[in-house]
Amino acid sequence: MNPDRFQHFAAIDWSGAAGERHRGIAVALCSTGGNAPELVRPGHRWSRPEVLEWLLNELPGETLVGFDMGISLAHADAGGFFPGWAESPDSARELWAMIDRICADDPHLSASSLVNHPEAARHFRRHGGREGDLFGGGRGRFRVTERAQEGMGCRPYSNFNLVGAAQVGKSSLTGMRLLHQLDTRLPVWPIDPLPESGSVVVEIYTTIAAMAAGRRTGASKIHDFADLSIALATLGSAAVEGSGAITDHAADALITAAWLRNAAHDPTLWAPAGLTPEIAKTEGWTFGAA
């Protein structure tokens, strides 16, 4: 394992919203050194399939790619993703395959067919006050890595929760369809071992990057270039040219790309205490959660 080999660092702010193109998707990229990160296709409204094509066909070599989404669902807390359902998968990759199969007719890598599936729906909190009888109550079920995030002062949301402005369940489910369609052409750590060469995808939580850039957990979002410059400087990065307003999606991607450039070289982040082989296989991990 040689994480120092990465030459490029990409961060993708993802979206699970309905429709083809999304203001909530932003892609940022930087290389080694202290140069400013840059938005890929600035001003472009990405579709989810376009991000997949970019990863497969345009990604620079030796890139560490961070996706702001959950790469799996809670498993360890209940001994399965969907306890009581005979078709509940045994691994994250099998989960991705099942979601993509059930949602094969859903356009734009959406995942409506899964959350409306009579068995799967029992585990999700959906709009209109529809809470499945196996959702678990309260804030829902959490992965081991999300409990580690809580220990850092973050406030993660359950990937089984599909309600509220801060929910991440929809983006996670759509993202799992993309991960399945990558079809091992890009390994996904830690579900896949960190290879000796080539690009790798990891899960990120942009709040962790924002905290490293000097932001408070309750005020991690940035909306103007002045605050963005301060955050990037804290990470040892040159400023992004511009003034005035910037979307928080673009700012999240830019800051997280610069953070990945620093964090990738920390060996402790590749071996967090809670990451067992079984957790790696089923739930995965958020890079930077310790």
- DSSP secondary structure string, 194-229? PPSSS-EEEEE-HHHHHHHTT--GGG----BHHHHH
Predicted pLDDT of residue 145: 98
Judge whether 279 and 259 are in contact, CB under 8 Å. no
Close Cβ partners of 104 (under 8 Å, ≥ 6 residues apart) = none
Ordered alpha helix ranges (H), 118-192: 144-151, 169-182
Predicted pLDDT of residue 165: 76
pLDDT, mean over the chain: 95
Cis bond before residue 190 (omega within 30° of 0): yes
Domain positions in the chain are 3-71+185-270, 92-181
Q: What percent of the chain has pLDDT over 90?
A: 92
Tokens standing for residue 152: 């850092």
Per-residue pLDDT, averaged over 106-133, amounts to: 95
pLDDT greater than 80 at residue 216: no
pLDDT greater than 90 at residue 275: yes
pLDDT greater than 70 at residue 1: no
Predicted pLDDT of residue 246: 96
* 137-189 residue pLDDT tens: 899 999 999 999 999 999 999 999 999 877 889 999 999 999 999 998 999 99
Least confident of 39-53, 84-98, 210-224, 230-244: 210-224
